[in-house]
């Protein structure tokens, strides 16, 4: 079945199903990775230490980058615009290519590493969905680049299970902008109305994909800071308290789909 397949016949006596599922696209932080509360000041403190900054200069550098990052995410929530790590460093008065800045970035990544590991339930979930002919996508709001995200997936042995991935850092937008979900559907070669999106933030991951015609599965366990929450009105199509629930939810929406 392709993204452009006609209506799927329903059971006898029922209206035809207008949709089946061709792809399931996943959020990264708090969805593919277990939710961790990360100390955002501490990450830039580690960065400044990595740069070799000491005492006052260390605190000034950490404060400047933290403020630039906060402004970038605030613009994202307000305007839907994306940002990149290099831009944030520049806004904080640093030269991204400078050797000291690079040493800071290495320390920053080391700080982040414990929070980047793929949830142990993900490989079997992705394999089960793919065995049913459903493609796997990733769409993340991130200031990190594609190569870095893919290194993480490769380290965890799941990169080969991803059919299409998109990172806000390589687009003009962040979630919940409709455009980024349309682009993520294109990355897995599916019509948005035949995609499911899975994420842990109601505004970005339920309201956003639904605006593009996707179904949304919400994972309600993350402790999203109040400062990052945006007032909105959205009801998920399903709630998954466990990643393993996703296979069953998608199977229920895939009635009429031929077995492979």
What is the contact surface with Mg ion in residues (CB under 5 A)? 27, 29-30, 200
Q: Which helix (H) or strand (E) holds 72?
A: helix 55-79
Q: What SS3 state is found at 43? A: helix
Distance (Å, whole) CA 147 – CA 132: 28
Min CB(102)–Mg ion separation in Å: 28
Let me know: does 45 contact 110? Beta carbons within 8 Å.
no
| 174/187 Cα distance (integer angstroms) | 16
- Closest-CA residue to 206 (of 234, 182, 229, 226): 234
Choose between 43 and 61: whose C-beta lies nearer to Mg ion. 43
Distance CA 230, CA 239 (A): 19
CB of 224 to Mg ion, least distance (A): 8
Residue 195 CB contacts under 8 Å (≥ 6 apart), including other chains: 21, 22, 23, 24, 25, 137, 181, 184, 185, 188, 209, 214, 215
Query: Between 100 and 230, whose beta carbon lies closer to Mg ion?
Result: 230
Nearer to Mg ion, 159 or 224 (CB): 224
Residue nearest to Mg ion (CB): 30
Distance, CA of 115 to CA of 35 (rounded, Å): 8
Residue closer to Mg ion (CB basis): 27 or 163: 27
DSSP 192: G
Least CB distance to Mg ion at residue 241 (A): 16
Task: Please report how close the Cβ of residue 215 comes to Mg ion at its closest, in angstroms.
Answer: 17
Compute the least distance from the CB of residue 31 to Mg ion, in Å: 5
**Beta carbon nearer to Mg ion, 29 or 236:** 29
Tell me the closest approach of the beta carbon of residue 139 to Mg ion, in angstroms.
10
Identity of the residue, 62 or 122, whose beta carbon is nearer to Mg ion in the bound complex? 122
């Amino acid at each position: 079945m392709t993204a452009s397949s006609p209506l799927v016949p329903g059971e006898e006596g029922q209206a035809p199903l207008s949709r089946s599922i061709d792809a399931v696209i996943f959020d990264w932080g708090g969805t593919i990775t277990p939710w961790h509360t990360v100390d955002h000041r501490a990450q830039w403190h580690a960065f400044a230490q990595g740069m070799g900054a000491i005492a006052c200069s260390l605190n000034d550098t950490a404060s400047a980058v933290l403020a630039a990052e906060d402004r970038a995410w605030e613009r994202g929530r307000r305007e839907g615009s994306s940002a990149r790590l290099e831009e944030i460093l520049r806004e904080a008065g640093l030269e991204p290519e400078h050797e000291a800045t690079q040493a800071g970035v290495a320390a920053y990544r080391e700080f982040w590493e414990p929070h980047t590991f793929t949830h142990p339930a993900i490989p079997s979930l992705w394999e089960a969905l793919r065995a049913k002919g459903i493609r796997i996508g990733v769409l993340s709001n991130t200031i990190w680049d594609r190569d870095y995200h893919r290194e993480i997936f490769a380290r965890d042995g799941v990169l080969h299970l991803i059919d299409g991935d998109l990172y806000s850092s390589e687009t003009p937008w962040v979630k919940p902008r409709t455009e980024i979900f349309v682009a993520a559907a294109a990355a897995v070669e599916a019509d948005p109305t035949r995609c499911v999106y899975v994420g842990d933030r109601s505004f970005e991951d339920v309201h956003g994909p639904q605006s593009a015609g996707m179904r949304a599965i919400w994972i309600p366990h993350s402790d999203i800071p109040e400062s990052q929450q945006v007032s909105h009105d959205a009801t998920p199509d399903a709630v998954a308290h466990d990643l393993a629930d996703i296979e069953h939810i998608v199977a229920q929406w895939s009635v009429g789909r031929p077995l492979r």
